[in-house]
Amino acid sequence: MTAPAPVETLDLAARFPGWVTPDSRPGYSGWIVEKDKLLDFARALRDDLGYDYLSSVTGVDYLPEGKMEVVYHAYKTTGGPGVNFKVQVERRDPVEVPSLVSIYPGAEFQEREAWDLLGIKFTGHPDLRRILMWEDFAGHPLRKDWREAYFEEEFKPFKSRWPEGKFQMAEDKARLGDNLSFPAGFDPRKKTDFDPEKALYEALRQYQKTESGLETEHLLVNIGPHHPSTHGVFRVAVVLDGETIVNLKPVMGYLHRNHEKIGERNTFLMNMPYTDRLDYLTSMSNNFGYALAVEKLMGITPPERAEYIRVMMAELTRIANHVWAIGFLLNDLGAYFTPMLYAQEERELILDIFEAVSGSRMMCNYFRFGGVARDLPDGVLEKVRDLAFDRLPRKVDELENLLADNEIIRARGIGQGVLTAEDAIRYSTSGPLLRASGIPYDVRRAEPYSIYDRLEFDVACRPNGDIYDRMMIRFDEIRQSLRIIQQTVKQIPAGPIMAVKPAYQVRVPPGEAYGRVEGPKGELGFYIVSTGKSSPWRYHVRAPSFINLTAFGPMCVGQKIADLVAILGSIDIVLGECDR
Amino acid sequence: MSEMYGKGILKGLGVTLKRFWDTYWEDAVWLFRQVTRGERRYRSPEGIAHRASKNTRGIFTVQYPEEKLPVPEEFRFVPFLVYEEGPNGEKVMRCTSCGICSRVCPPQCIWIVRTTDPETGRPIPDPAEFYIDIDICMNCGLCAEFCPFDAIKMDHDYELASFGRSVYDKEKLAKPVSYYESIRPLNAARENAARAAKEAARLAASAKPEA
Ligand code: SF4
Ligand code: SF4
């Protein structure tokens, strides 16, 4: 168990005079760093001040002010509050900011994302290609002046729906052809010789090493996007030497729908059901993270009963997710579907509870700003009690007993796909992936939110960072979640479930907030900028599935090709969240 | 390392065998219950309830569509419009076309045309047209949650597969209050009580100045 570090007053402006100024905009916090000093500042922050974990990197387009901003959130893996720093540049196309990959390699994918969606060019980035959009896409969709196909208005609700809501199908209103805009000089009828894959394969080639004097030929294999073991539409381009992986690049974005752009058109409340669709296996935790971020801005906290319900639901979600993850990992190891279906039974019983509480098994949309949508219906608490005290402990033991000493799992898991503790931090991994590498970092303890500071549980941690530990840590976490649920069932008080009157238009004061929760897959963060309007100005999701993949390549290099799917399975990704 | 090879496989087979055995053991138990109490394991509410309980053993699946899991009261699928039956059996929509549902709908799939009085040009609280694009609806339930007139509610019917695009108009969306009360009895009772209390308060308030 890591005790939260004592809160220290950090005056970066005094420590780095001339480099750093406090961010004094109303509602904002953190520090503004001079662009030229960013690298020196980040190095000092990591090495001298101990902020070794770069959680989130994203950008904001302040179009009216003519500025672009890159926002960083860094933490210490020993716990405690983080530091939020920004770099501001004049808004151009593209803007240039130094890349932090050399200091925090975990920024690699996030910077690519910011380049792709916001047009922020990170100078010095080793492989700055688009990541979610395809390579010959024109424009940067998260810029405020970029408009999507079928664009209607900047913000919802659209005027065409009421009171003169003459129904029109979107596809009739904007037929393909007149809703597309092409970059200057581009003719869609002409074939171009642009090869969208060239940059990818070139990026892979950079890493190829030929041994001294010996010319070896490497084989390039694409796994996915449609492959049962990639857990969705996910592709990996792998360079092989015989059967050994020399290098690989994940290719993603096949499920991309620009969740963040949709979120910036939506009102604050409308985003709640959309968060369900991020990691669609863990909608309750997604709701949790988003609600926390907006509540931070609104300055409200939910009543006691709602906090207990929230934690209970979030921990049930963790169990449901972990049994799924364990089951699927077994699929990837070749134990096709039998263990997974056993694990699924428990998940089904948990989903029954979600359905009774929220109305939906997976798309729960249950949290509201200041509480939850409705109180627990009669009988639900008994069901939770039955599961938490009786059935789940039994069944988890049974599943562990089935899997833990299986020699095939041990042979394929122990010592395979190792992620060292240093690398786990460097690559900004989070969740079970980080903790299985020996770092007991859990947001619920490191920076407690909701009522976690009052609940007894241990942060699960395993030392070896291999596939086997990543499977076993999920068993440990299920047990800890059961402990938490047992406490919430015993202690849940009566009372109201909303701190404020339920409203569909919430007033969110201007400012920024970063809300993060320990989701089942890792640290799920929401960075929100409000300008006081009904929709967020910026809505960014720090997706653990996405960022954990940064470590995927380094984990696989040197392994055999057959281990690739097992390593991927042990990370536990969901493409709905990864591609957003 | 003193690993005994094959142990894991034997253990795994053992677990599977136990599940297999459980299924038939439970069948035997239920056979007894059927004889003594007339309760059946398959295609019966008590059998399905048992399979969805913490004591379920052996076979866990439900043979859809012959068997269906019951849905809880809060279950939501697509919205419908509630109407009350007038004295002559006419449909009186509860909806006042206030537009809140269409403004709160995240994917903006509710389209409402308000009726206006042809003479005064003022709006009449009754929708002239009401469309929901069911294929776009994300089943979030926010429309039902924020309708101030309890006029739009979430349905329990989930068997809506169709070959084309599903756009429901006012006719197709309208369902009687009695149907609503049958699928969501607790909610309906709560709302009726709240409305009655409000009505009573209003009457009391309007009675006061006269007294
Ligand atoms: S919110 Fe209710 S009353 Fe208002 S338009 Fe929608 S269904 Fe009708
Ligand atoms: S359920 Fe949600 S998406 Fe569907 S019509 Fe209602 S508000 Fe819109």
CA of A299 to the centre of ligand 1 (A): 31
Last residue of a domain, one of B70, B94, B112: B70
What integer is the mean pLDDT of A369-379?
A: 90
Residue A218 pLDDT = 78
Asked whether residue B3 is domain-assigned, the answer is no
Distance from the A372 Cα atom to the nearest Cα atom in chain B, whole angstroms: 12
Contact B68, B51 (CB under 8 A): no
In single-letter form, the type of residue at position A558 comes to G
Distance from the A397 Cα atom to the nearest Cα atom in chain B, whole angstroms: 12
Q: Which residues line ligand 2 (CB under 6 A)?
A: B 79, 105-107, 109-110, 132, 137-143
> Could you tell me if B30 and B102 lie in one domain?
no
Asked whether residue B1 is domain-assigned, the answer is no
Q: Give the side-chain half-sphere CA count within 13 A for A115.
A: 22
Please name the residues in contact with A310: beta carbons below 8 A apart, sequence gap of 6 or more: A288, A291, A302, A367, A372, A450
Q: Considering only CB atoms, which chain B residues are within 8 Å of A408?
A: 8-9
Asked whether the predicted pLDDT for residue A7 surpasses 50, the reply is: no
Last residue of a domain, one of B18, B46, B70: B70
Put simply, the answer to whether A163 touches B140 (Cβ < 8 Å) is no
CA nearest to A248, candidates A222, A270, A211: A222
> Three-state SS for B26?
helix
- Looking at the structure of chain B, the number of domains it has is 2
Phi, psi of A299 (to 5 degrees): 70, 35
Ligand with an atom nearest the CA of residue B107 = 2
> Which percentage of chain A shows pLDDT scores above 70?
95
Q: Is B112 a pocket residue for ligand 1 (Cβ < 6 Å)?
A: yes
Six-digit token pair at B191?
A: 């709302």
> Could you tell me if B66 and B90 lie in one domain?
no
CA nearest to A312, candidates A399, A408, A397, A383: A383
What integer is the mean pLDDT of A37-47?
A: 88
Put simply, the answer to whether A355 touches B71 (Cβ < 8 Å) is yes
Residue with tokens 């424009």: A139
The length of chain A, given as a count of residues: 580
> Three-state SS for A54?
strand
Helix, strand and coil content of chain B, in percent to the nearest 5, comes to 40, 15, 45
Model pLDDT for residues A380-409, shown as the tens digit of each residue: 999 999 899 988 998 898 888 888 888 888
Domain with residue B101: its CATH number is 3.30.70.3270
Asked whether the predicted pLDDT for residue A262 surpasses 70, the reply is: yes
Residue A180 pLDDT = 66
B137 and A CB contact within 8 Å? no
CA nearest to A95, candidates A126, A127, A61, A65: A61
Last residue of a domain, one of B53, B70, B87: B70
Phi, psi of A519 (to 5 degrees): -75, 170
> Could you tell me if B97 and B137 lie in one domain?
yes
Asked whether residue B96 is domain-assigned, the answer is yes
B135 and A CB contact within 8 Å? no
Distance from the B35 Cα atom to the nearest Cα atom in chain A, whole angstroms: 29
Residue A5 pLDDT = 44
Long-range contact pairs involving A192-199 (C-beta distance under 8 Å, separation at least 24):
A192/A136, A194/A136, A196/A134, A196/A135, A196/A136, A197/A135, A199/A129, A199/A135
Q: Considering only CB atoms, which chain A residues are within 8 Å of B139?
A: 360, 363
Residue A284 pLDDT = 92
> Three-state SS for A570?
helix
> Three-state SS for A411?
helix
CATH architecture of the domain with range A7-123: 2-Layer Sandwich (3.30)
Paired with A541 in beta bridges are A526
CA of B150 to the centre of ligand 1 (A): 8
Name residues 187-206 of chain B within 8 A of A (Cβ).
none
Residue with tokens 């940059």: A199
Phi, psi of A382 (to 5 degrees): -65, -40
Model confidence band, residue A6 (pLDDT cutoffs 50, 70, 90) = very low
Six-digit token pair at B53?
A: 């309980």
Please name the residues in contact with B191: beta carbons below 8 A apart, sequence gap of 6 or more: B150
Among B16, B54, B105, the residue with its CB nearest the CB of A386 is B54
Q: Which candidate in A504, A505, A539 is best for mutational testing of the B interface (most B CBs within 10 A)? A: A504
Put simply, the answer to whether B123 touches A345 (Cβ < 8 Å) is no
Q: What homologous superfamily does CATH list for A259-496+510-575?
A: Cytochrome-c3 Hydrogenase, chain B (1.10.645.10)
The C-alpha atoms of residue A289 and residue A276 are separated, in whole angstroms, by 11
Residue A484 pLDDT = 93
Q: Considering only CB atoms, which chain B residues are within 8 Å of A158?
A: 108
> Three-state SS for A289?
helix
Contact A321, A399 (CB under 8 A): no
The C-alpha atoms of residue A123 and residue A271 are separated, in whole angstroms, by 33
CA of A497 to the centre of ligand 1 (A): 25
CA nearest to A527, candidates A19, A89, A29, A34: A29
What integer is the mean pLDDT of A348-357?
A: 92
Please name the residues in contact with A23: beta carbons below 8 A apart, sequence gap of 6 or more: A29, A30, A31, A32, A86
Put simply, the answer to whether B3 touches A407 (Cβ < 8 Å) is yes
> Could you tell me if B102 and B198 lie in one domain?
yes
> Could you tell me if B133 and B181 lie in one domain?
yes
Residue with tokens 């849905």: B71
Model pLDDT for residues A65-89, shown as the tens digit of each residue: 889 999 999 999 888 888 999 999 9
Put simply, the answer to whether A359 touches B76 (Cβ < 8 Å) is yes
Q: Which candidate in A156, A257, A270 is best for mutational testing of the B interface (most B CBs within 10 A)? A: A270
Phi, psi of B174 (to 5 degrees): -75, 130
Global ipTM: 0.89
Per-residue DSSP letters for A372-409? Answer: ESSPPPTTHHHHHHIIIIIIHHHHHHHHHHHHTT-HHH
**How buried is A37 (Cβ within 10 angstroms: 0-12 exposed, 13-18 middle, 19+ buried)?**
middle
The C-alpha atoms of residue A519 and residue A281 are separated, in whole angstroms, by 11
B23 and A CB contact within 8 Å? no
Give me chain A's average pLDDT, please: 87
Contact B147, B132 (CB under 8 A): no
> Which percentage of chain A shows pLDDT scores above 90?
38
Q: Is B147 a pocket residue for ligand 1 (Cβ < 6 Å)?
A: yes
Put simply, the answer to whether A360 touches B60 (Cβ < 8 Å) is no
Phi, psi of A244 (to 5 degrees): -90, 135
B26 and A CB contact within 8 Å? no
Our mutation pick for probing the ligand 1 site, out of B82, B97, B137, B195, counting the most ligand atoms within 8 A of Cβ, is B97
> Could you tell me if B97 and B200 lie in one domain?
yes
Q: Greater confidence, A256 or A188?
A: A256
Ligand with an atom nearest the CA of residue B143 = 2
Model confidence band, residue A208 (pLDDT cutoffs 50, 70, 90) = low
Domain residues for the domain of B141 are 79-207
> Could you tell me if B31 and B50 lie in one domain?
yes
Please name the residues in contact with A246: beta carbons below 8 A apart, sequence gap of 6 or more: A207, A208, A209, A218, A239, A240, A557
Query: CA A107, A108, A110, A114 torsion: positive or negative?
Result: positive
In single-letter form, the type of residue at position B144 comes to A
Among B6, B52, B74, the residue with its CB nearest the CB of A358 is B74
Is the bond into A250 cis (omega within 30 degrees of 0)?
A: no
What integer is the mean pLDDT of A155-169?
A: 86
Long-range contact pairs involving A67-73 (C-beta distance under 8 Å, separation at least 24):
A67/A91, A68/A95, A68/A118, A68/A120, A70/A97, A70/A114, A70/A120, A71/A30, A71/A512, A71/A527, A72/A42, A72/A100, A73/A514, A73/A525, A73/A527, A73/A542
Please name the residues in contact with B36: beta carbons below 8 A apart, sequence gap of 6 or more: none
Asked whether residue B2 is domain-assigned, the answer is no
Kindly tell me the number of DSSP H helices and DSSP E strands found in chain A: 21, 17
The C-alpha atoms of residue A285 and residue B197 are separated, in whole angstroms, by 37
Contact A40, A49 (CB under 8 A): no
Helices (H), B64-149: 100-104, 142-146
H/E stretch holding A53? strand A53-62
Q: Considering only CB atoms, which chain A residues are within 8 Å of B75?
A: 355, 359-360
> Three-state SS for A523?
strand
Model confidence band, residue A212 (pLDDT cutoffs 50, 70, 90) = low
Ligand with an atom nearest the CA of residue B174 = 1
Distance from the B110 Cα atom to the nearest Cα atom in chain A, whole angstroms: 7
Six-digit token pair at A404?
A: 């833990």
Low-confidence stretches of chain B (pLDDT beneath 50): 1-2, 211
Taking CA atoms only, the protein residue closest to ligand 1 atom 3 is B95
Put simply, the answer to whether B129 touches A406 (Cβ < 8 Å) is no
Q: Is B98 a pocket residue for ligand 1 (Cβ < 6 Å)?
A: yes
> Could you tell me if B110 and B22 lie in one domain?
no
Residue with tokens 């501001």: A88
Residue A135 pLDDT = 82
The C-alpha atoms of residue B93 and residue B96 are separated, in whole angstroms, by 8
From A217-221, A345-349, B63-67, B72-76, the region with the lowest mean pLDDT: A217-221
Q: Is B152 a pocket residue for ligand 1 (Cβ < 6 Å)?
A: yes
Task: Please determine whether the domains at A7-123 and A259-496+510-575 fall in the same fold group of CATH.
Answer: no
CA of A520 to the centre of ligand 2 (A): 28
B58 and A CB contact within 8 Å? no
Helix orientation angle between A304-332 and A283-298, rounded to the nearest 10 degrees: 140
Q: Which candidate in B95, B108, B139 is best for mutational testing of the A interface (most A CBs within 10 A)? A: B108
Our mutation pick for probing the ligand 2 site, out of B75, B109, B172, B173, counting the most ligand atoms within 8 A of Cβ, is B109
Asked whether residue B182 is domain-assigned, the answer is yes
Distance from the A364 Cα atom to the nearest Cα atom in chain B, whole angstroms: 8
Asked whether residue B19 is domain-assigned, the answer is yes
Q: Greater confidence, A205 or B121?
A: B121
| DSSP secondary structure letter of residue B25 | H
Domain edges within chain A: 7-123, 259-496+510-575
Put simply, the answer to whether A502 touches B11 (Cβ < 8 Å) is no
CA of B106 to the centre of ligand 2 (A): 7
Put simply, the answer to whether B75 touches A349 (Cβ < 8 Å) is no
Model pLDDT for residues A286-343, shown as the tens digit of each residue: 999 999 999 999 999 999 999 999 999 999 999 999 999 998 888 888 878 888 888 8
Put simply, the answer to whether A162 touches B103 (Cβ < 8 Å) is yes
Radius of gyration of chain A (CA): 24
* pTM of the predicted protein model: 0.90
Ligand with an atom nearest the CA of residue B110 = 2
Which residue of chain B comes nearest to A392, CA vs CA? Answer: B54
Contact A473, A400 (CB under 8 A): no
